[in-house]
Amino acid sequence: MSAIYLNGERVPRERAVISVYDHGFLYGDGVFEGLRFYSGRVFKLREHLERLEESARHIHLVIPGTLETLANDVEATVLASGMSDGYVRLIVTRGVGNLGLDPRSCPVPQVIIIADGISLYPVEMYEKGMEIVTASTIRNHPNALNPRIKSLNYLNNILAKLEAIQAGVPEAIMLNHMGEVAECTADNIFVVEKGRLRTPPRNAGILAGITRATVLDLARASGIETLEETLTRHDVYTSDEMFLTGTGAEIIPVTKVDGRPIGNGLPGPVTRSLRGKYHDLVRNAGNS
């Protein structure tokens, strides 16, 4: 089952519609979050709401109500869905306005919450690893549209995703405007090099992933050295292990990049161990 809340009220699926004059639809003017719930509990709800608020502040959008009411509405949507495990899409659009960019014509932002099932990568990809390529489309320049904003405008990522599809693989690495490794189209990137875990810093033109932060915490807690530093394609090609992180994907191993096998071409021990720890954490967070 699914459940949908529109501006604080539960609505049936067929009435869950927005105006063609909503600037979220007309211009991608809005922000969103993708959350997971496990055993009925939303994982890292507070962190997602804070990131949503940061995105909103950047685009000068005031989210109606408080973060507490929003948290309650997210939890109510999850409960109403009747599902134990699933995905939440939380969207705040600029709202209904005129045909014209000026956000001042949109007095009331719209808050949309959808709790539904999640489509995951196939199980064998988690066991054997994923092959990916580097896209020629670079991540948005931070002075144009900062990737720290999780905005409704995902065309930059979609263009890179299309390149992945053209190449017959599920994902693509996006470089930043400096030619450094940034992130994949909807996941952050990690490599393991001589037992150390490396990931691009938050100012590398990436979304500051919540799974990324969780994985860094898990690694530090288990005594793995972590480095948030610039990565180049050379670092990727010569790494011992590689994996991607995201709310939807969780932790997924990458075993081939641009035709080059990573390490021995199989998911490595650090990736496997962190995957185990991540699974334990989300399960425990669900039971607490």
Distance in angstroms (rounded) separating the CA atoms of residues 149 and 73: 22
Active site residue 150: yes
Residues lying near ligand PMP in the complex (CB under 6 A)? 34, 157, 183, 186-188, 207, 209-212, 245-247
Closest to ligand PMP by CB, 188 vs 199, is 188
Tell the smallest beta-carbon distance from residue 126 to ligand PMP (Å): 16
Residue 246: CB minimum distance to ligand PMP, A: 4
Q: How far is the CB of 45 from ligand PMP (least distance, A)?
A: 12
Q: List C-alpha distances in Å: 233 to 173, 176, 179.
A: 9, 12, 9
SS3 for 245?
strand
Closest approach of ligand PMP to the CB of residue 38, in Å: 14
Q: Which is nearer to ligand PMP, 93 or 214 (CB)?
A: 214
Q: What is the DSSP string of 105-161?
A: G--S-EEEEEEE--PPPPHHHHHH-EEEEE-SSPPPPTTTS-TTS-BS--HHHHHHH
Cβ-count burial 43-58 (b if 16+ within 10 Å, e if not):
bbbeebbebbbebbee
Q: Which is nearer to ligand PMP, 8 or 286 (CB)?
A: 286
> Cβ contacts of residue 100 below 8 Å, gap of 6+?
none
We find the least distance from the C-beta atom of residue 10 to ligand PMP, in angstroms, to be 25
- Considering the candidates 128, 150, 161, 277, report the single residue annotated as catalytic: 150
Q: Which residues have CB under 8 Å from 37's CB, separation 6+?
A: 43, 78, 83, 84, 85, 86, 87, 88, 115, 286
Which helix (H) or strand (E) is 198 found in, with range?
strand 196-199
- When the beta carbons of 31 and 106 are compared against ligand PMP, the nearer one is 31
The residue among 47 and 235 lying less far from ligand PMP, judged by its C-beta, is: 47
User: Which positions are annotated as active-site residues?
Assistant: 150
